[in-house]
Amino acid sequence: MFGKGLATGLEITLKELFTPKVTIQYPEERAPLPARFHGRFTLDKEACIACGLCQNACPNRVINCVRTKVDKKNVLTGYHMDIQYCLFCGLCVEACPKGALRFSQDFEMACYHRENVPLVLLAEGDRPACDVSAAGGKEVKAGD
């Protein structure tokens, strides 16, 4: 009978009217993110050994890790990411032998100005090489 299919369809939509709503009202409500979510990066400055493996693993040359040689040892003095070119593939995080580079759950990375886009995980001035050498390779803390 013509119209039977239409009626079946309407029946389905009518049933759906009484099921709980699935739409999440962002930003008032937030969906739970899984533990492995690929969000903004975090860097554990203490754990990082400045090996540069993350930089080499990146397919798009996003990472620039600035290293300074202190007492024959590499010390991380800067860590920049041109995150606008990042594919969020996770190859860098996977390459890190110390687990220093990680993803966080922060996904709200939009900003108003282009110059704010690059992600600076360690600014050069924050940890000058001379301070690092003075403290015997350890980071100098304020007040020390």
47 neighbors 80 (Cβ within 8 angstroms)? no
Rounded CA-CA distance 77/115 in Å is 21
Rounded CA-CA distance 95/135 in Å is 29
Single-letter amino acid, residue 104: S
Closest CB to other proteins among residues 19, 141 = 19
Least distance (Å) between residue 74 CB and other proteins:
20
Under DSSP, the state recorded for 140 is: P
Q: From other proteins, ligand SF4, none, which one binds at residue 34 (CB under 5 to 8 Å depending on kind)?
A: other proteins
Q: How many residues bind other proteins (CB under 8 A)?
A: 27
In the complex, the residues that contact other proteins under the rule CB under 8 A are 2-6, 8-9, 11-13, 16, 22, 34-38, 57-59, 87-91, 94, 103
